[in-house]
A and B are shown apart, each in its own frame.
Chain A
């Protein structure tokens, strides 16, 4: 299953605000299927890493408490026009995703 990963960069704070959106169910493992009564297995993003030109600038640890389709934002300092910012994530079921954007 592929999950759509999107990234947006805009000026903010001392540098650039980087927002990452992943279409992901973020199941807690506590919810039950209303029809069958079975517990829906936990499925959530664990680690999300942001890189500027290949160097990690921030790593976010996520869990069941983060909403469905998480929107995670951080601030990157020192990015210049043309620099590449990448984000990559992996979840507890071994799924991964990534996105890349260029600073305007």
Chain B
């Protein structure tokens, strides 16, 4: 992900709510290639580069152990790391594992992110929290009885 584009977007966003709609669309570039990658390891590399990644007890995923409907799986990620810069969610066995990410502003946004995601089949779901030059992860297997990617 291009950090420069992000920072540029942030500066522009501050110009006000009325302008915001069009500004967001232009300034914040959506990382198309990242969302199209078919391999989780590749997506992680694209997103975090060479940043060291380790499992951490400071990151917790709150999600069902078994999802009856893969089209709507509620995921909530909590972290106690105070300087969390971003929280990302990946589903290993989805056609494109990279689901979503949120960029936080340490100090003004806390370590929580929740979203409802689609899952094609039973898979590991991993949360990646970037904080203090490191990436902290936690993962959980979610069993899916009906997939949500084919329809």
Q: Which residues of A contact B (CB under 8 A)?
A: 12-15, 17, 19, 28, 30-32, 46-47, 49-52, 54-68, 70-78, 86, 88-90, 92, 94, 96, 98, 100
Write the residues of chain B forming the contact surface with A, with a CB cutoff of 8 angstroms.
6, 9-10, 13-14, 16-17, 20-22, 24-25, 28, 30-31, 35, 71-74, 76, 91, 94-96, 98-105, 107-118, 148-151
Query: How distant is the Cα of A78 from the Cα of B96 in the complex, in angstroms?
Result: 36
14 A-B pairs with CB atoms under 8 Å apart are A19-B114, A31-B151, A32-B151, A47-B24, A51-B17, A58-B105, A66-B100, A67-B73, A73-B112, A73-B114, A78-B108, A88-B20, A89-B24, A94-B25
Do A66 and B115 have beta carbons less than 8 Å apart?
Answer: yes
Residues in A neighbouring B95, C-beta threshold 8 A: 30
Top 4 closest pairs, chain A to chain B, by CB: A75-B110, A73-B114, A65-B99, A31-B151
CA distance in complex: A70, B25 (Å): 19
Report whether B14 and A55 are in contact in the complex, using a CB–CB cutoff of 8 Å. yes
Task: Classify the secondary structure of A's interface with B.
Answer: strand
**Residue pair B117, A75 in contact (C-beta under 8 Å):** no
Nearest-CB residue, chain B, relative to A92: B30
B31 to chain A: closest residue by CB: A61
Interface pair B13/A66, CB less than 8 Å apart: no
